[in-house]
Amino acid sequence: MNYRLQLDRVSAAYEGVSVLKDISLVLPDGVFTAIMGANGSGKSTLLKLLGGAVAPVAGKILLDGKPVSALRPRHLARDIAMLPQFPLAPDGIRVAELVMRGRFPHQTMFRQWSAADRTAVDAAMAQAGVADLAHRLVSTLSGGQRQRVWIALVLAQDTPILLLDEPTSFLDIAYQVELMALLSELSERGRTIVAVLHDINQASRHASHLVMLAGGQVIAAGRPDEVVRAETMRAVFRLESVIVPDPVTFTPMVVPSELRRNR
């Protein structure tokens, strides 16, 4: 298993409170990895560490063996793209212009446009399914359309590694399925995808590597059939469940076995 991105004994804190404790993890290349865990288990922090947005209090985040903190932001941005949970769209901007802003790390002060930018933006909009919205005002789009525009922006950044923080929230079930399919398709074409996700059954279907966090530590990491087990669900979510095969994909599916419970 090849990997470029790795956490080596990393601890992180948020406003003085420890969030992640001594985590070591590799993110396999060309694989769709889903990061899961209970609320407040440090999923988002883990993603921010990988993107260089948060500095660890101990340990190292390595890209090709070099600490990401030592890389210039612009160079890091050519390898790793990050879609946060709440990006901001300026008033009055149109879809194609917003997607073009993903090309920032490939541009300079005096070369603010190139044919490669145009090609990358067109390809990204086609992949994310927003090509026919190119000239629409972003403010007039539905939540699902908007989310796909942001996906197009990070795709236009054209990085081998893509980090996404809860990309399916605010999407209806049809868009969720579509987005998950897009992410696994991208990983099949060689991109490394790391996404924080909530829906375990969806993740089992589409992602091929799962990381389960609880209490600031990695409880389990591996293929869905290795990770999604009743004892993991108990350890991570304190949830009693039965694991059955998904009737369509035969991947593990979690069925909670309690109807009422006290946490």
Partner 1 sequence: MSVIIASPAGGIALKTSRRRLLAGIFLCLAGLGIGIWTLASGDYPLTFYEILDVVRGGGDETARMVVMEWRLPRFLAALVAGAMLGLAGALFQSVFRNPLASPDVMGFDAGAHFGAVVAMLVFGGGFFLVAGGALSGGAVAALAVYLFVARGLSGFRLIVVGIGIGQLFFAASQWLLLQAGEEAAVAVASWGLGSLNDMDKSRLAYLGISAVLLVPPGLLLARSLRQLELGDAIARGTGLDPGRTRLSAILVGLALSALVTALVGPIGFIALVAPQIARRLTADGDVALVHAALAGSILLGASDLLAQKIPSGMPLPVGVVTLVLGGLWFFWLLLRSGRVGTS
Instruction: Return the number of the residue (72 or 189) whose C-beta is nearest partner 1.
Output: 72
CA dihedral defined by 20, 5, 53, 194, rounded to 10 degrees? -80
Q: How many CB atoms lie within 10 A of CB 263?
A: 6
Query: Does residue 74 interact with partner 1 by CB under 8 A?
Result: yes
Q: Which residues are paired to 194 by β-bridges? A: 33, 163
Residue of 16, 65, 73, 247 that binds partner 1 (CB under 8 A): 73
Window 158 to 197, contacts with partner 1 (CB under 8 A): 163
d(CA 240, CA 233): 7
Candidate residues 11, 29, 60, 97; the one interacting with partner 1 per rule CB under 8 A: 97
Backbone angles phi, psi at 169, to 5 degrees: -65, 150
By C-beta, is 9 or 74 nearer to partner 1? 74
φ and ψ of 37, to 5 deg: 165, 170
Q: Work out how close the CB of 203 gets to partner 1 at its nearest, in angstroms, rounded to a whole number.
A: 22
For residue 123, the minimal CB distance to partner 1 (Å) is 17
Task: Select from 15, 39, 110, 259 the one that contacts partner 1 (CB under 8 A).
Answer: 110
Q: Which residues contact 101 (CB under 8 A, 6 or more apart)?
A: 153
Beta carbon of residue 187, minimum distance to partner 1 (angstroms, whole number): 19
HSE-up (13 A, CA, CB side) for residue 140: 9
State which of residues 28, 87, 129, 215 lies at the interface with partner 1 (CB under 8 A). 87
Choice from 30, 37, 42, 52 touching partner 1 (CB under 8 A) = 52
Q: Of 28, 67, 105, 215, which lies in the binding site for partner 1, with binding defined by CB under 8 A?
A: 105
The one-character DSSP state at 105 is: G
Q: Alpha-carbon distance 60 to 73, whole Å? A: 17
Q: Show contacts with partner 1 in window 227-256 (CB under 8 A).
A: none
Which of 24, 114, 142, 257 is in the footprint of partner 1 by CB under 8 A?
Answer: 114
Per CB under 8 A, the list member of 51, 56, 59, 216 interacting with partner 1 is: 51
Per the listing, tokens 């035969």 go with 250
Give the span between the Cα atoms of 227 and 233, in whole angstroms. 9
Report the interface residues with partner 1, using CB under 8 A.
51-53, 72-78, 80-84, 86-94, 97-98, 101-102, 104-105, 107, 109-114, 138, 153-154, 157, 163
